[in-house]
Chain A
Amino acid sequence: MTLQTPLAEVAVQQEGPPVRTRSRSRRRIEPIYYLFLVPALLLFTGFVVVPAVIGIFYSFTDYVGYGSWSLLGLRNYTALFSDPDILGSYGFTLGFAVVTVVIAQVIALALAVALTKRIRFAAPLRTIFVIPMVLSGIVVAYVFNFLFSNSLPAFASAVGFAPLEQSILGNPDLAWLSIVTVSAWQTIPGALLVYTAGLTSIPGDLYEASSLDGASAWTQFRSITLPLIAGFVLINTVLGVKGYLGVYDVIVGLTGGGPGTSTRSVAMAIFGGFTGGDYAYQMANATIFFIVTVIISVAQLLVTRGRTIRL
């Protein structure tokens, strides 16, 4: 989905203060600048902000998606907190996001470091590693669905590994692993590219000086690489988590939320509201989800603030 493009991760990096401000406040503004800006603002407001506001408004009603409605106050919200299905979907989504972001970032960073070492075929290797990023999530999930339900069990019985002889997609305890795998597979490339950009911006003489002092590769990684790319780790993690929280395509293609509701994400629960008749209820869920997303993102930014080095 569009908001989740792993590449969005790079972006926030530039939000910082260094801005070309000129003391032109007294000058009369040219009307054409409004003409440049207003279409974007109007369309954005109409297609994104207005729907968000409408949705939040309906979360205080008993609206079912059509017909009349009346105000309920906070009743949808209080009901949410005692709904085991909803709590289950939050539990799954948060756990999935944490596990996936850790796995994906560690692998992406390891690959990025490896690709900047003295290796052969660096360019073609990087080209191959980035391919998953350009593929459709749902189609990728369908391919992996086949691998998980046919190839993996066939392989497991061939080598006599009993736990995997049944498809993990049908196992409520293991199905989430398939979603972690495919999500990581898809999002590692974007993070890898961001890390590569970060690593190439580190001056090489830092490493030369430290190896003259006898620093090991691991020491160099810990004391030079990691502090200098901390900003990139932060951005990748914040927007990675945000993306994983909205996970949908991959689940649709792999498990459809099952078995049972063991892999049902918050996004799937919310979309179910349109067909399930509990529109207003799921809009309350969506509003809570928005708040949770913002809190997690801001918390990540605050916790890591001060430890990052601006490049």
Chain B
Amino acid sequence: MSDPAAPRGAARRRRLGGTNWPLTILLLLATLTVLAPLYVTLSMAFKTSEQAVDGEAFALPAPFNPQSFAVAWELTRFPVSFGISLAVAAITVVLTLFLSSLAAYAIVRNWDRRLFRWSLFYLLAALFLPFPVVALPQIQLTAMTGLDNPIGVGILHAMFQLSFSVLLYTAYLRSIPIELEESARIDGATTWQIFRRIILPLLGPMNATVGIFAFLASWNDFMLPSLITADPALQTLPVVQNIFQSQFGTNYNVAFASYLMAMAPTIIVYLIAQRWVISGITQGAVKH
């Protein structure tokens, strides 16, 4: 935690030429805790079944065998599971963005009204509601209403994102000066036009943040789809991975190929969108 190489702070560091190399090297070594499991996933996926069971997880694949991907593709019905995961995440993201931006705008602009103020606290209370409390009744309700399918999963994911998203939006909206809207109002704009033309564009960065978090939460979730979706053929990508735990227990190369195919999309999206992911947290954590 302390910085062993720079006991006298900035002055000493400047004399050392700026870069704190021991700490840099320590951090580079620490990245192995992240990279090693990813490397194992990658290398196992390209091994043959014989090589995969010998226990040497860190050995390079020899011979290099990409066939596991084809088998995993078939076993998990990858295009179907992928499509369902995508549909669930899309429902979640669209519903979350739509519901929470409008609600947050109404709440912030009518903060002096009890109904609106209490609505925020009502939504925020869910931050303290553990999922297991509502899980069993939700399974029943979705079954009764015919929502025990990916659509229901998407809706429920959006509901669980609501607290966090409304919170982010309200904080952000409070930093937008109301004068912008007042001048538009004088020009005769309706509230909807103001939201559509002024607020929505200003919400751009926050939309990205809220959308990414909603996407990640939905795409990666195991608990809700596994509990809610009645038809196993309609399961999302993380849930279908469990077939390798039972039926194909020793086909490690196939299992890891499948894990890799399940992980890769979020890693790729993250590497592209990391600027927003990281700035989104910063915006959320530091007050404007």
Residue A110 lies at the interface, judged by CB distance under 8 Å to chain B: yes
Expressed in whole angstroms, the minimum distance between the Cβ of B264 and any Cβ of chain A is 10
**Residues of chain B within 8 A of A150, CB atoms compared:** 55, 57
State A212–B12 Cα separation when bound (angstroms): 11
Partner of A40, one of B20, B102, B113, B255: B102
Partner of B164, one of A8, A55, A144, A196: A8
Query: Which residue on chain A has the smallest CB distance to residue B58?
Result: A151
Partner of B244, one of A142, A267, A271: A142
Given A111-B30, A130-B274, A217-B3 in contact, is the A51-B137 Cβ separation under 8 Å? yes
Residue B186 lies at the interface, judged by CB distance under 8 Å to chain A: no
**8 A Cβ contacts from B94-137 to A:** 99-100, 102-103, 105-113, 116, 119, 122-124, 126-137
State A55–B191 Cα separation when bound (angstroms): 39
The segment from A10-18, A68-76, A80-88, A170-178 found at the interface with B is A10-18
Contact with A along B20-39 (1 / 0, CB 8 A): 11011011101101110110
Given A135-B266, A142-B245 in contact, is the A33-B109 Cβ separation under 8 Å? yes
A146 near B167 with CB under 8 A, answer no
B132 near A286 with CB under 8 A, answer yes
Query: Which residue on chain A has the smallest CB distance to residue B271?
Result: A127
**Residues of chain A within 8 A of B23, CB atoms compared:** 114, 117, 119
B110 near A33 with CB under 8 A, answer yes
Residue B223 lies at the interface, judged by CB distance under 8 Å to chain A: yes
State A90–B219 Cα separation when bound (angstroms): 29
Residue B198 lies at the interface, judged by CB distance under 8 Å to chain A: no
**Residues of chain A within 8 A of B184, CB atoms compared:** none
State A15–B113 Cα separation when bound (angstroms): 17
Query: Which residue on chain B has the smallest CB distance to residue A249?
Result: B222
Given A128-B31, A193-B281 in contact, is the A41-B122 Cβ separation under 8 Å? yes
- Residue among A10, A109, A266, A271 with max Cβ neighbours from chain B (10 Å): A10
Residue A131 lies at the interface, judged by CB distance under 8 Å to chain B: yes
Residue B159 lies at the interface, judged by CB distance under 8 Å to chain A: yes
Query: Which residue on chain B has the smallest CB distance to residue A204?
Result: B10
Query: Which residue on chain B has the smallest CB distance to residue A310?
Result: B287
Expressed in whole angstroms, the minimum distance between the Cβ of A301 and any Cβ of chain B is 11
Expressed in whole angstroms, the minimum distance between the Cβ of A63 and any Cβ of chain B is 10
Given A117-B23, A201-B286 in contact, is the A137-B222 Cβ separation under 8 Å? yes
Query: Which residue on chain B has the smallest CB distance to residue A14?
Result: B171
B126 near A44 with CB under 8 A, answer yes
B24 near A119 with CB under 8 A, answer yes
State A37–B116 Cα separation when bound (angstroms): 8
A23 near B112 with CB under 8 A, answer yes
Query: Which residue on chain A has the smallest CB distance to residue B113?
Result: A29
A55 near B278 with CB under 8 A, answer no
A132 near B34 with CB under 8 A, answer yes
B27 near A274 with CB under 8 A, answer no
Query: Which residue on chain B has the smallest CB distance to residue A235?
Result: B285
B216 near A121 with CB under 8 A, answer no
**Residues of chain A within 8 A of B159, CB atoms compared:** 43-44, 47-48
Residue B13 lies at the interface, judged by CB distance under 8 Å to chain A: yes
Given A132-B34, A218-B2 in contact, is the A14-B167 Cβ separation under 8 Å? yes
Residue B213 lies at the interface, judged by CB distance under 8 Å to chain A: yes
Query: Which residue on chain A has the smallest CB distance to residue B44?
Result: A146
Contact with A along B175-203 (1 / 0, CB 8 A): 00010000000000011100100000000
Partner of A290, one of B130, B278, B280, B287: B130
**Residues of chain B within 8 A of A33, CB atoms compared:** 106, 109-110, 116, 191
Partner of A3, one of B21, B129, B269: B129
- Residue among B34, B102, B128 with max Cβ neighbours from chain A (10 Å): B128
**Residues of chain B within 8 A of A130, CB atoms compared:** 270, 274, 277-278
A14 near B287 with CB under 8 A, answer yes
**Residues of chain B within 8 A of A8, CB atoms compared:** 127, 163-164
Residue A94 lies at the interface, judged by CB distance under 8 Å to chain B: no
Partner of A128, one of B34, B141, B178: B34
- A sample of 5 more A-B contacts (CB under 8 A), given A143-B37, A144-B37, A207-B10, is A15-B167, A127-B274, A128-B31, A136-B222, A282-B136
The 3 A-B residue pairs whose C-beta atoms are closest, nearest first, are: A211-B9, A51-B137, A2-B160
**A-side interface residues toward B, CB under 8 Å?**
1-5, 7-8, 10-15, 18-25, 29-30, 32-34, 36-37, 39-41, 43-44, 47-48, 50-52, 54-56, 58, 65, 106, 109-111, 113-115, 117-121, 125-140, 142-144, 146-147, 150-151, 153-154, 185, 190, 193-194, 196-198, 200-201, 207-208, 210-212, 214-218, 220-221, 232, 239, 242, 245-246, 248-249, 252, 266-267, 270-271, 273-274, 279, 282-283, 286-287, 289-290, 293-294, 297, 311
**B-side interface residues toward A, CB under 8 Å?**
1-4, 6-11, 13, 18-21, 23-24, 26-28, 30-31, 33-35, 37-38, 40-41, 44, 55-58, 99-100, 102-103, 105-113, 116, 119, 122-124, 126-141, 155-164, 166-168, 170-171, 174, 178, 190-192, 195, 213, 216-224, 227, 237-239, 241-242, 244-245, 252, 255-256, 259, 262-263, 266-267, 269-271, 274, 277-278, 280-282, 284-287
